[in-house]
């Protein structure tokens, strides 16, 4: 499936989202006949769009209705700065709680958090235990809960913290947006950066796929608020979500070759937070699937073990 057809199909299910003075979008797929009562709330992470995770949404839609909203500063949605707030994890968690109250009323829901989306979901459940009572269970797709989950060396972690803090300064992020996020600059330099070269390695000998991937990556960089990106990056590099327990089960879908996280430590921290922990390792080359992945390729994030559980608990 090409990126064009993927985006076209997704657009049929996307509607405006206006809440708390901020405008964004929301994707919703109705439930299939066999799973009419289950509701999935999917939260994407950094560097994303609704269209980027359309292939994953289709997989979860086999087991229930799926809703995936933008969050302030992500996916082209207005940032918190528009209403005089900072894009902290606490503020994102509060926004998510408001969305759940408005969207689901008293209906039950399964939360799927992708990477940073899982961070926000965890914080929301900790801050709103009454809402947690309406959640059946939580699925982490390459999620994390603590800064020690990262497998970076100490010098690299310190460097990332300094860089993310500096780029979030008002003058610097404006320069970064104009210079570093210029389409020409991104096409020339992005695939060679430490954090992106692994994405492009497998398509380096395929010009058409390389160009398609670059087009999507540029779109993702342009759709997300620059200052929000770096402020939240700095905060999750110092993250500690292990101070409050959540009385829910968590499914940890992760790759054994994640370039960002130490899975053993991720598991230790999730066991501290959640009442029940279920490991669901999958075979992926990178942190998450490629931006070019179609529904079949993205199905790896809903492994057979989890699929059996979803069918069993329907």
| Res. 4: pLDDT tops 50 | no
Mean pLDDT calculated for residue range 103-127: 96
Whole-number pLDDT of residue 289: 84
Both tokens of residue 265? Answer: 């430590």
Q: Using CB atoms within 10 Å of the CB of residue 145, give its burial: 0 to 12 exposed, 13 to 18 middle, 19+ buried.
A: buried
- Give the single-character DSSP code of 66: E
| Res. 128: pLDDT tops 60 | yes
| Res. 125: pLDDT tops 60 | yes
- Give the single-character DSSP code of 176: I
Domain layout of the chain by residue ranges: 3-151+241-312, 154-232
Confidence of residue 294 (pLDDT cuts 50, 70, 90): very high
| Res. 15: pLDDT tops 50 | yes
Query: How far is Cα 176 from Cα 182, in angstroms, rounded to an integer?
Result: 9
Whole-number pLDDT of residue 200: 87
277 phi, psi to nearest 5 deg: -130, 130
Query: How far is Cα 134 from Cα 128, in angstroms, rounded to an integer?
Result: 11
| Res. 118: pLDDT tops 90 | yes
Average pLDDT, the chain: 93
Contact of 42 with 112, CB cutoff 8 Å: yes
Confidence of residue 1 (pLDDT cuts 50, 70, 90): very low
Q: Using CB atoms within 10 Å of the CB of residue 143, give its burial: 0 to 12 exposed, 13 to 18 middle, 19+ buried.
A: buried
Whole-number pLDDT of residue 174: 94
Mean pLDDT calculated for residue range 257-267: 91
Mean pLDDT calculated for residue range 240-258: 95
Mean pLDDT calculated for residue range 243-248: 97
- Written out in words, the top-level CATH class of the domain with range 3-151+241-312 is alpha beta
Using one digit for the tens of pLDDT, what is the confidence trace for 170-186?
A: 999 999 999 999 999 99
Confidence of residue 3 (pLDDT cuts 50, 70, 90): very low
Whole-number pLDDT of residue 7: 42
Q: Which of 149, 143, 148 is nearest to 43 (CA)?
A: 143
Mean pLDDT calculated for residue range 204-208: 89
Confidence of residue 195 (pLDDT cuts 50, 70, 90): confident
Confidence of residue 199 (pLDDT cuts 50, 70, 90): confident
- No. of H helices and E strands in the chain? 14, 8
Confidence of residue 256 (pLDDT cuts 50, 70, 90): confident
């Amino acid at each position: 499936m090409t990126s064009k057809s993927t985006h076209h199909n997704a657009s049929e299910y996307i509607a405006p989202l206006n809440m708390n003075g901020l405008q964004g979008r929301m994707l919703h797929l109705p439930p299939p006949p066999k799973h009419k009562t289950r509701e999935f709330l999917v939260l994407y992470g950094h560097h994303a769009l609704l269209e980027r995770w359309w292939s994953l949404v289709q997989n979860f839609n086999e087991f229930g209705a799926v809703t995936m909203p933008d969050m302030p500063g992500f996916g082209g949605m207005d940032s918190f700065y528009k209403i005089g707030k900072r894009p902290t994890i606490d503020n994102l968690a509060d926004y998510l709680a408001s969305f759940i109250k408005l969207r689901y009323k008293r209906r039950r829901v399964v939360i799927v958090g992708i990477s940073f989306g899982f961070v926000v979901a965890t914080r929301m459940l900790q801050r709103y235990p009454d809402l947690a009572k309406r959640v059946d269970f939580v699925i982490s797709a390459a999620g994390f809960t603590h800064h020690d989950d990262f497998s970076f060396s100490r010098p690299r972690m310190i460097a990332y913290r300094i860089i993310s803090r500096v780029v979030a300064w008002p003058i610097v992020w404006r320069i970064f947006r104009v210079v570093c996020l210029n389409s020409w600059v991104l096409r020339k330099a992005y695939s060679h950066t430490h954090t992106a070269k692994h994405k492009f390695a497998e398509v380096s000998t395929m010009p058409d796929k390389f160009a398609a991937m670059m087009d999507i990556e540029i779109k993702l960089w342009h759709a997300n608020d620059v200052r929000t990106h770096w402020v939240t990056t700095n905060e999750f590099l110092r993250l500690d979500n292990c101070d409050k327990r959540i009385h829910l089960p968590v499914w940890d879908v992760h790759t054994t070759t994640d370039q960002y996280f130490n899975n053993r430590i991720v598991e230790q921290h999730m066991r501290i937070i959640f009442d029940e922990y279920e490991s669901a390792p999958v075979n992926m080359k990178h942190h998450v699937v490629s931006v070019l992945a179609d529904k079949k390729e993205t199905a790896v994030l809903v492994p057979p073990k989890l699929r059996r559980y979803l069918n069993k608990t329907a």
